[in-house]
Amino acid sequence: MIVHQHPFLAPCRFARLVLAEHAIEAELVVEPFWDARPQFVAVNPALKLPMAYDGERDPLCGAEVLMEYVDERYGEARPAHRLMPSDPFQRAEVRRLVYWFTQKFEEEVAGPLVTERILKIEMPSKRGGGAPDSAALRIARQNVVAHFHYLGSLAIGRKWIAGDSFTFADLAAAAALSVVDYLGEAPWGADPAVKAWYQKLKSRPSFRPLLSDKARLVAPSPHYADLDF
Amino acid sequence: MIVHQHPFLAPCRFARLVLAEHAIEAELVVEPFWDARPQFVAVNPALKLPMAYDGERDPLCGAEVLMEYVDERYGEARPAHRLMPSDPFQRAEVRRLVYWFTQKFEEEVAGPLVTERILKIEMPSKRGGGAPDSAALRIARQNVVAHFHYLGSLAIGRKWIAGDSFTFADLAAAAALSVVDYLGEAPWGADPAVKAWYQKLKSRPSFRPLLSDKARLVAPSPHYADLDF
């Protein structure tokens, strides 16, 4: 597949994990969505990233759309390790948690942190670039603690966050945490269950490429790539 | 099913249409989400509406989760009229458009209009109630025109908005337009293709209950329930 994305947007990282877990090769293309390239807008008027091409057909826009597509099209190749359970209520729980991370956590935590600390440095000033908004950062830093406790409550009561099996929800959550951790904004001390769960995710081969991503002007937190942090 | 909802939130109307199209009986319970009832928060910490119970299992939170569940669980009962196509790229297009209406249109148009003009009258002032924010209304009224043109471009090039068949995307879009139309905020003159498409939707039996909804203190626009408007 050809995947238009930005390496520090959590939904794009989620998509990369989904593809890697299915052993689907992806050519990654950085899409500076703030430039709203006419060819990009024409096929994807919501400017949603990731946007993936699988062959000649129309692009798949957004991580949730891509997730369902990959499961339907390629999930059968890994029946014992399928990332979407078969029970209808468990499927609903996986989707609830995926949306939690691609939408709610993104809006309240990862999106503001990444926008203020990474994207605004890359964007030209006429496209929204500039100095970080300290009020937005403060609110995101407050929100992250409540989110850690919620994730902790899932991690402690269940084997994986959506239940007994490893699912798309674990990948969406880990992708979101990984950008927060890159920026040194993850309160690991707040909940040991979250840390233990994240360590399992971080050790998966699918995760490795994410750990070598580097933002142009922002260095990763010292333990970012450590499997034993 | 028992469906916790608010009659003027577009994603809740989408859910009601989905259930009616599948001939699933629903007991509707109005959930004043702004009160954040402890029992509601406990099972649905994102406070997402609609929230539906199908039997004794955990609730299904959010219109997108419910849509997938209904299709997987009850879609086979109507093979010739299934609202999710079988081609993987067409499924992706249906989901892209459903999210367009439950998320983007909701954020930019329907959500602000309904919040400012209906919900704020119902909410106590300590929960966000009060006078409408005229700046928010102005922005939503600007946004609705561009959205009409986009929907028009779909309606004119395709038989139904996601392609050749009637799908969940038509229901999500029509649900969103119906609240805007109730408030007299739909610029029907902007695009005749949108009007012709909406007329087809409005004539479906599943739509009828929506047309008799009344907000406590806001009357519907004069043509709201007219099939020939």
Give the CATH number, domain containing residue B68.
3.40.30.10
Q: Are residues B98 and B207 in the same domain?
A: yes
Question: Mean pLDDT over residues B189-198, rounded?
Answer: 95
The closest of A184, A191, A192, A189 to A226, measured between CA atoms, is A184
Option in B58, B62, B104 nearest A99 (CB) = B62
Q: Are residues B72 and B105 in the same domain?
A: no
With 90 as the cut, is the pLDDT of residue B229 above it? no
Q: Are residues B11 and B102 in the same domain?
A: no
Distance from CA of A92 to the nearest CA of B (A): 6
> How many degrees, rounded to 5, is the angle at CA A168 between CA A165 and CA A174?
100
Model confidence at A143, pLDDT cuts 50, 70, 90, reads very high
Express each pLDDT in A190-220 by its tens digit.
999 999 999 999 999 999 999 999 998 999 9
d(CA A100, CA B67): 17
Establish, for the pair of chains A and B, how many residue pairs have beta carbons separated by less than 8 Å. Answer: 63
Share of chain B above pLDDT 90, in %: 95
Residue in A closest to B93 by C-alpha: A60
Model confidence at A229, pLDDT cuts 50, 70, 90, reads confident
pLDDT at B75: 92
Q: Are residues A50 and A99 in the same domain?
A: no
Model confidence at A97, pLDDT cuts 50, 70, 90, reads very high
The answer to whether B57 contacts A91, with C-beta atoms less than 8 Å apart, is: no
CA B133 to chain centre: 23
Contacts of A91 in chain B (CB under 8 A): 68-69, 72
Interface test with A, best of B57, B94, B95, B150 (most A CBs within 10 A): B95
A160 part of a folded domain: yes
Q: What domain range includes position B144?
A: 88-211
B60 part of a folded domain: yes
pTM beyond cutoff 0.90: yes
A189 part of a folded domain: yes
Contacts of A68 in chain B (CB under 8 A): 68, 91-92, 95
A61, A48 Cβ separation under 8 angstroms: yes
Express each pLDDT in B116-154 by its tens digit.
999 999 999 999 999 999 999 999 999 999 999 999 999
The answer to whether B72 contacts A62, with C-beta atoms less than 8 Å apart, is: no
Interface test with A, best of B64, B65, B94 (most A CBs within 10 A): B65
Number of domains chain A contains:
2
A43 part of a folded domain: yes
Please report which residue ranges of chain A form alpha helices under DSSP H. 10-21, 38-43, 63-74, 88-99, 111-114, 120-122, 134-157, 168-182, 192-202, 208-211
pLDDT at B221: 97
pLDDT at A106: 98
Q: Are residues A180 and A127 in the same domain?
A: yes
Residue in B closest to A53 by C-alpha: B89
Q: Are residues B146 and B179 in the same domain?
A: yes
pLDDT at A228: 85
Q: Is A88 on the interface with B (CB under 8 A)?
A: yes
Strands B51-53 and A2-5, by their bridges, are unpaired
Question: Mean pLDDT over residues B59-71, rounded?
Answer: 98
